Amino acid sequence: MGIFSNGNKNKWHDYLLNFYKYFSQVHHLFYRQKSETFQVLTSSSTSPKPGIEIHAPLLDKMYEVLRDQNFQNMLINMEIDGFMFDKHYYKQFIFYISFHSIHGYKKLLHIFRAHGINIEPKLEVRKDKSGSYVLLNRMYIAKDIFVRYSTDFHDKIEGHPKIKDSTWKSAAEKGNPQILAVSRSYLLNHYLDYIKNYIKDNSHIITFFTLKDFNGIIVPIPNIILSLSSNKLKTYDIYQIRIKEYDLSTERDLIIDNPEEILRAFLG
């Protein structure tokens, strides 16, 4: 019988809840609880914090991860931004990792592997003669475990619906809207179609990647396309938390042309 089988689910939920409540007090972390959901965060700040989330179901191996001293040291040392556990939610564990803590993502993967979780990114990719794009709604890194981009863990960003994290959360949970990271060639071949249809289309969020080097870890950063006019792209850079403009006639080389390859290398 597994740790999180029906008969044991309440027992081990309560154990982890009480353990991390005390752990947070001892190590000056920030513990929050609402009903049977609890969070442990390394900072009380609610300023915008973009990054990635790892979503996982209740697995015995995830219990082992949360009991791993190396993982607990990561929280103490603020190497990730925290986690949430909700025993009634479909994906009951959520790990928060901001871009500035991205080295913690690679370290967390190492802990996953140490507990028998095989990391093998599986991406949904579409290709045609004009280029390719990758679906960002759920980027699976192991069986039933996926990563998603978050425009802000606190969902405080205001403005266009396409930049709100509630929209990106809905995309992960419900599959709508579809979030695409398009290659440079795909964008250049299709952007005239986007000019006509994209602005009023709420069923898609179109992004492209630019790269950011975090001390040796190359991270693909989604730039959300908000509007297109002639050769000008108005975009929202989720890392810089600001609106930018790209001139496709002079800055097209900043747009990554191999999003699948770059993303797979980062996730694994």
Please tell me the predicted confidence (pLDDT) of residue 1. 45
Please tell me the predicted confidence (pLDDT) of residue 133. 93
83 and 169 both lie in a single domain: no
136 and 34 both lie in a single domain: no
DSSP of the chain: --TTSTTTHHHHHHHHHHHHHHHHHHTT-EEEEETTEEEEES----S---EEEEEE---HHHHHHHH-HHHHHHHHTTSS-EEEEETTSSS-EEEEEEGGGHHHHHHHHHHHHHTT-----B--EEEETTEEEEE-S-EEEETTEEEEEES-TT----SSGGG-HHHHHHHHHH--SEEEEE-HHHHHHHHHHHHHHTTT--SEEEEEEEEEEETTEEEEEEEEEEEEETTEEEEEETTTTEEEEEETTTSGGGS-S-HHHHHHHHH-
109 and 177 both lie in a single domain: no
82 and 135 both lie in a single domain: no
85 and 61 both lie in a single domain: yes
Residue 3 within a domain = no
Please tell me the predicted confidence (pLDDT) of residue 190. 79
The CA-based diameter of the chain, rounded to the nearest angstrom, is 62
Residue 2 within a domain = no
Q: How many domains does the chain have?
A: 2
Please tell me the predicted confidence (pLDDT) of residue 251. 86
- Segments forming the whole domain that contains residue 60: 9-114
Residue 107 within a domain = yes
Tell me the whole-structure pTM to 2 decimals. Answer: 0.93
110 and 156 both lie in a single domain: no
157 and 90 both lie in a single domain: no
262 and 222 both lie in a single domain: yes
Residue 175 within a domain = yes
Please tell me the predicted confidence (pLDDT) of residue 253. 86
d(CA 158, CA 164): 7
Residue 223 within a domain = yes
Residue 146 within a domain = no
222 and 243 both lie in a single domain: yes
pLDDT tens for the chain, residues 1 to 268: 455 555 566 777 889 999 999 999 999 999 999 888 899 999 998 888 999 999 999 888 999 999 999 999 999 999 999 999 987 655 589 999 999 999 999 999 999 999 999 999 999 999 888 888 999 999 999 999 999 999 999 999 988 899 999 999 999 999 999 999 999 999 888 776 666 677 677 888 999 999 999 999 999 999 999 887 777 889 999 999 999 998 888 888 889 999 999 999 999 9
